[in-house]
Amino acid sequence: MGITKILIIALLVWTALKVYSVVKSRSNDSDDNRMNKKIIPCSFCKTHVPLSSAIRVNNKYFCSKDHSKNA
Ligand SMILES: [Zn+2]
């Protein structure tokens, strides 16, 4: 086997691994993850909180149960 063939195979393997890692990192960053990482302001005190830990009342988001009572 010539050095050129070895280089081509190495390049193909490297490209495949690169593509695989990009696809893998994209699938980890799913829409759900992005939604949960979204930061929104509390409708009462304007404190910015992650959407995943915000409390939703009447289509408004609040940082805590205490503030959601002010909806
Ligand atoms: Zn608040």
66 CA from centroid of ligand 1 (Å): 8
Q: How distant, in Å, are the alpha carbons of 3, 21, 30, 53, 55 from that of 66?
A: 70, 44, 31, 14, 10
- In angstroms, what is the span from residue 28 Cα to ligand 1's centroid? 30
Report helix, strand or coil for 58.
coil
CA of 47 to the centre of ligand 1 (A): 6
- Determine the average pLDDT of the residues in 41-63: 94
Mapping DSSP to helix (H, G, I), strand (E, B) and coil, where does residue 46 land? coil
Cα(70) to centroid(ligand 1), Å: 9
Q: Is the pLDDT of residue 2 over 80?
A: yes
pLDDT digits (tens, 9 = 90+) for 37-47: 799 999 999 99
pLDDT, mean over the chain? 88
C-alpha 29 – ligand 1 centre gap (Å): 28
